[in-house]
A and B are shown apart, each in its own frame.
Chain A
Amino acid sequence: MARIAGVNIPTAKRVPIALTYITGIGPSIAKQICDATKIDQARRVNELTDAEVLAIREFIDANVTVEGDLRREVTMNIKRLMDLGCYRGLRHRRNLPVRGQRTHTNARTRKGPAKAIAGKKK
């Protein structure tokens, strides 16, 4: 069992796939990590030696923001926009789409489940 970057314990999968279980590491960064630590991408996590796991851990610590730190960064960015009083911040405050999408219909991801409007005639 390999613990990398805090709580994540991906096991019987290939290394680049297993690494994507960490928040902040996608396929592309996972491959970069494999290249930098010279680990063959076909190998699986349970085949890694302790030294290789350590190398991965050190590479991530040094080069990538992951997990809690990343989440904090994202919420801080959103909070900054909200405090600034700019248009994007206003949209975040109201839980509406930020990037100019239509809200006449759709936008349910941001707005949540549809609420019935009282007194609306058919």
Chain B
Amino acid sequence: MARSVWKGPFVDAYVLKKAEASRDSGRSEVIKIWSRRSTILPQFVGLTFGVYNGKKHVPVNVTEDMIGQKFGEYSPTRTYYGHAADKKAKRK
């Protein structure tokens, strides 16, 4: 079920603070965040976030299309290199 509108979008407070700080201090840097659950807000467009995937911070350049989705959607948590058996079959 979708979230109630009256609550407004969910964003961890520290993400907002960091985003504002980098905005004021003339941009560029990757903003490291761990909060994959935070919604991407319109004021984040143009900034680059390093979204933690459990191992490292994946750089995500926020564009307009991403608004309303969560940061976690842009930082995959699983690595999958295919099955060993498949590779063996290809070598033959």
Interfacial residues, chain A to chain B (CB-CB below 8 A): 80, 84-88, 90, 117-120
User: Interface SS of chain A: helix, strand, loop or mixed?
Assistant: loop
> What class of interface size applies to chain B in its complex with A?
10 to 19
B89 — which chain A residues lie within 8 A by C-beta? 117-119
Whether A86 pairs with B85 at a CB distance below 8 angstroms is no
Whether A118 pairs with B69 at a CB distance below 8 angstroms is no
Q: Is B7 an interface residue (CB 8 A)?
A: no
Whether A86 pairs with B86 at a CB distance below 8 angstroms is no
User: Interface SS of chain B: helix, strand, loop or mixed?
Assistant: helix
B72 — which chain A residues lie within 8 A by C-beta? 87
How many pairs of residues, A versus B, come closer than 8 Å at their CB atoms?
29
**B54 → A minimal CB distance (Å):** 14
B42 — which chain A residues lie within 8 A by C-beta? none
Whether A117 pairs with B83 at a CB distance below 8 angstroms is yes
A86-B73, A87-B76 known, 6 other contacts, Cβ within 8 Å: A80-B65, A84-B65, A84-B74, A86-B69, A90-B76, A118-B85
**B49 → A minimal CB distance (Å):** 13
B88 — which chain A residues lie within 8 A by C-beta? 118-119
Whether B74 pairs with A86 at a CB distance below 8 angstroms is yes
Interface string of B1-12 (1 = CB under 8 A from A): 000000000000
B92 — which chain A residues lie within 8 A by C-beta? 118
